[in-house]
Amino acid sequence: MSAKSSSPPGGPNPTDQANPSRGGRFETGPGEVMERINASIEVDRRLYAHDIAGSKAHAAMLVRQGIISREDGEAIDAGLDKILQQIEKGEFTFRASLEDIHMNIEARLEELIGEAAGRLHTARSRNDQVATDLRMWVRDALDGLDHAVRELQAALITQAEHHAATVMPGLTHLQGAQPVTFGHHLLAYVEMFGRDRGRLADCRRRLNECPLGAGALAGTAFQIDREATARALGFDRPAANSLDAVSDRDFALEFLAAGAIAVVHLSRLAEEIVLWTSERFGFVRLSDAFTTGSSIMPQKRNPDAAELVRAKAGRILGALAGLLAVMKGLPLAYAKDMQEDKAPVFDTADTLTLCLAAMTGMVRDMTVDADAMRAAAAEGFTTATDLADWLVRALGLPFRKAHQITGRLVRMAEEKGCGLADLDLAQMQSVEPAITAELFGVLGVEESVASRTSFGGTAPDNVRRAAAAARERYLR
């Protein structure tokens, strides 16, 4: 959106009759510094559509209740439509002297329709107005983010289906642990992002109460219909307590908290992509669309999109911490501190949307070197647990004893510079005489992953079923 912004020069201003919030209480306008610290229009102008929608619903309710005339209501409605068109065309002049989006719209409405504009603010306050606007904005942002996370899940599921049997090393402590499939690994992120969508949905459900009509803090003496206004704006119900309605920012904090957890998940996946694309791993390759070069080293192919997703997590984590700090000491009801709620919310929505788009693109775009993954899966004695499990199943040994025997065999292989499967039967029997040649049938990485058939396990058939179930659960 393109729009003009203007502000008068420094020094005390004469009484600014154009700013309805000052009314007749002040003899002069605010000082230049006060005006700068008080103005929020550069941030909250993004609420314009929601502010206008709220005003239209409020005016319609006032008409139905007989609080303002039908003629004034029609003039207000037409004037607000005109303002919406002007803002969307970039023809609206935002003035810092009018502080915020609410006063800018109200002042312009008065210019368009005259005295009738002054009736719009009957039975409401900027306190309930901004709380309503921000809830509506966050509600829309949540819907957009849910769609973006769903798209990422779809990309992950598609790759998981394609790589249901692609063997890779499963790591703990970043050390070789047990073989898994790449599809199984990707489906772990599908579950993580599914929980993120659940948190976004929970946040949306809890915020969907309408503060409008709560007034500044105490309600209003006018016979308004808050139920009707709430319905008109898509809320489930009006907020139950007028003090809470104007002072609650839990919905903003919950939005930031959900965003923070989601971006941590994105950052973890980004870190893995950075590792997988490195020469030391060589598991995955990103295309030119999601990599950059070096200004001095011609050979470089840097996974900058992933690195930037990883870095931008800090912005969202900081936004949550910042708003928590703003809110922690505020008594009821409204305080101007709450003006600082919008910048972190807007930035989190923007940043998270961008990170999700980048990650979805990288996941769709990546190509996998299955041979490199398989070779790495065979390193580090990753089938040692399979050996221990065989000793339990075939020989009836207690697992702790099997664990000890397997550890001795690993040490033997390590000393000989070979893998477990490279030890001969006699060498194995020198540690445990009851071992038979049957053991060698469980020491391959393909056999290892194929054996993990427990629910949620990495066996390729499990992965295919899990991917199909994820499609049904998350994408239907």
**Cα–Cα distance for residue pair 113/117, rounded to 1 Å:** 6
Neighbouring CB atoms inside 10 A of 19's CB total: 21
Q: Which residues are catalytically annotated?
A: 173, 294
**Cα–Cα distance for residue pair 102/50, rounded to 1 Å:** 10
Burial of 212 (0-12, 13-18, 19+ CB in 10 A): buried
Residues with Cβ < 8 Å from 355, sequence gap 6 or more? Answer: 263, 266, 309, 312, 313
**Cα–Cα distance for residue pair 50/56, rounded to 1 Å:** 10
The token duo for 265 is 């998940």
Planar angle of CA 275, 294, 313, nearest 5 degrees: 45
Q: Which of 405, 430, 406, 427 is nearest to 416 (CA)?
A: 427
Q: Which of 359, 126, 69, 137 is nearest to 246 (CA)?
A: 126
Inter-CA distances, 206 with 90, 200, 233, Å? 34, 10, 15
**Cα–Cα distance for residue pair 101/428, rounded to 1 Å:** 78
The token duo for 83 is 């303002």
The single-letter code of the amino acid at 469 is A
